[in-house]
């Protein structure tokens, strides 16, 4: 991304921070994709706070919008609607609460890494399975 930013003479070259050291899920989501995070803050989160919506509800709403777009970006190319990406994103809300409240330091970092190592591959496998069943599966 930095190479493309250099070619296009893009001024803001901060695309990610040290997400791999995340001790909370919230820190991970705020630091792994800075442009998207800033866009969501500017266009969803801060306007909701200005309207008096509490922080937790605003964060949940931002995750809801993000989950919708993740599902959309998977469903359209595969031509199937399954909600695996949506549910995986929405599962991050209680996970973020749990990790932020009960796990500190390396334990929080381990929880973040376990969600990355287990969560995304399971979602991909669910889509692969469903795609295969729809397109190649037969009755036995």
Among 70, 129, 135, 136, which one carries the catalytic annotation?
Answer: 70
Nearest-angstrom CA–CA distance, 36 and 21:
19
Token couple for 44: 């969803």
Nearest-angstrom CA–CA distance, 52 and 114:
35
Neighbours of 72 (CB within 10 A): 13
Nearest-angstrom CA–CA distance, 46 and 108:
27
70 is catalytic: yes
At 126, give phi and psi (nearest 5°).
-65, -40
Nearest-angstrom CA–CA distance, 40 and 60:
12
Active site residues: 70
């Amino acid at each position: 991304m930095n190479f493309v930013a250099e070619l296009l003479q893009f001024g803001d070259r901060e695309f990610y921070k040290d997400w791999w050291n995340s001790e909370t899920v919230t820190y991970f989501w705020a630091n792994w994709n800075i442009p998207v995070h800033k866009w969501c803050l500017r266009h969803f989160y801060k306007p909701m706070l200005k309207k008096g919506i509490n922080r937790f509800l605003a964060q949940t709403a931002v995750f809801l919008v993000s989950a919708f777009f993740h599902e959309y970006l998977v469903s359209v190319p595969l031509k199937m609607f399954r909600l695996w990406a949506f549910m995986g994103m929405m599962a991050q809300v209680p996970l973020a609460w749990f990790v932020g409240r009960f796990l500190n330091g390396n334990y929080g970092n381990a929880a973040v890494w376990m969600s990355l190592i287990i969560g995304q591959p399971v979602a991909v496998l669910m889509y692969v399975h469903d795609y295969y069943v729809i397109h190649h599966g037969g009755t036995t």
